[in-house]
Copies of this chain bind each other. A is one copy, B any other.
């Protein structure tokens, strides 16, 4: 059935080969948040460079102040668009370790899924394009577009190095492209492909309250010293109300009202609320009652506490007034909100609400805007045709709640459209214990990438 010497046939013959490559990449514990993994970051970058070179691309590492960038390109083809594939080779930390059913960095197949940190986010997803390029080059000897790659090793910690590379002329010239192809998002459902045309931005910060110079005996001092943990709860407990409304003044001022069309697009997505919540062990949703769950996730700003730390956390008790208390916070922002402005509003609000008796420091960590891609982009339309060829149905266009901060920067620095064609599903538990990615998603991703590249090569294109 399959035509001889086609990329599709190459994929069919190389399933073991691709699986082995993916597993090699998964076994490298490239956790960017932990400095102990510094060497693993480099090993991972070198692995990608070598695989890109073997596929037939000109690949190299770009040294940075942090983890190296991996860049690669094929020869330019006149009359064809230049497509930049973006992916990230760093992964989230694995704790809580005791909740993993198998080793977090040993890919393990159970029920058609590969369990491993990074299985989906973003090794499983982003290798699709590398293996697609390998398949096309092996079968045809040339690519249908001018193809570039950039893999960064800091997506989970703020993309500092890629952001600063994009500040340089050299960086922008190296990565210059007409469209950016990214697989780091979810489909609308297990059999419902999607192109994500909107992402949320993010504002991350850490708050630390400092009280007495050392932990105090809560009997001797209790009632006469402001407990930093109490002050922290009082402060953060006021940031959001029980309807999910964030209390920082001006927080919603720039949020664009959802149109009827926007709301229809959300309503079209297959979503069984009851079973989706049962899947994560919950009986009910939370949040702004005037919006549906998918609207809250995709189009509304949010506030979350990612971590709380104070005092004695061991076995038993310890009757102290802790000296400090701290929290890691993230806000998700929707398109048109300005994270820098909101960080200032937040800082002012917290300073005003803070009870006297403790000192507060706030350190910003991540900051990026949300964005929306116009659906009439010819690159988006070509990618949609490619996806339809593989899945047998057209992708939905969806707005996703996640953030890929650097994608906003890439789009504006390169003046390129962004095609967010992801093959994961919500149940993949990315960032959580037992992250996994379906074998089917992995192979279908490679096939879809081939089809997308072919459609992009066939489009009417004028620079």
Using a CB–CB cutoff of 8 Å, the interface residues on chain A facing chain B are 32-35, 92-93, 95-96, 99, 156-157, 186, 200, 202, 204, 206, 211-227, 229-230, 232-240, 242, 244, 280-282, 284-288, 293, 296-297, 300-322, 325, 327-328, 330, 332, 355-357, 365-366, 400-403, 426, 429-434
- In the bound assembly, the distance between CA atoms of A214 and B233 in angstroms comes to 23
Q: How far is the CB of A372 from chain B (nearest CB, A)?
A: 16
CA distance A316 to B200 in the complex (A): 21
Which residue from B226, B286, B301 sits with its C-beta under 8 Å from A357?
B286
> How many copies of this chain are found per oligomer?
2
Contact A232 B230 (CB under 8 A): no
Indicate which residue in B34, B99, B214, B287 contacts A214 across the interface (CB closer than 8 Å). Answer: B99
Let me know if A330 and B317 touch, CB within 8 A. Answer: yes
A431 / chain B contacts, CB cutoff of 8 Å? 215-218, 318-320
Q: Looking at the complex, which one of B214, B285, B310 makes contact with A280 (CB distance below 8 Å)?
A: B214
- Can you list 21 A-B pairs with a CB-CB distance of less than 8 A? A33-B318, A95-B314, A212-B280, A215-B431, A215-B432, A216-B280, A218-B306, A218-B330, A219-B403, A222-B297, A225-B287, A230-B240, A233-B305, A233-B308, A282-B357, A285-B357, A306-B321, A307-B310, A308-B309, A309-B313, A312-B328
* CA–CA, A316 and B365, complex, Å: 8
Known: A202-B219, A233-B233. A429 touches B214 (CB 8 A): yes
CB distance A313 to B307 under 8 Å? yes
Which 6 A-B pairs have CB atoms at the shortest separation, nearest pair first?
Answer: A237-B237, A213-B281, A219-B402, A33-B316, A223-B302, A229-B305
A156, A202, A330: residue with the most chain B Cβ atoms closer than 10 Å:
A330
**Set of chain B residues within 8 Å of A322, measured between Cβ atoms:** 305-307
Complex alpha-carbon distance, A400 and B222, angstroms: 11
Complex alpha-carbon distance, A236 and B235, angstroms: 10
Question: Are the CB atoms of B223 and A186 closer together than 8 Å?
Answer: no
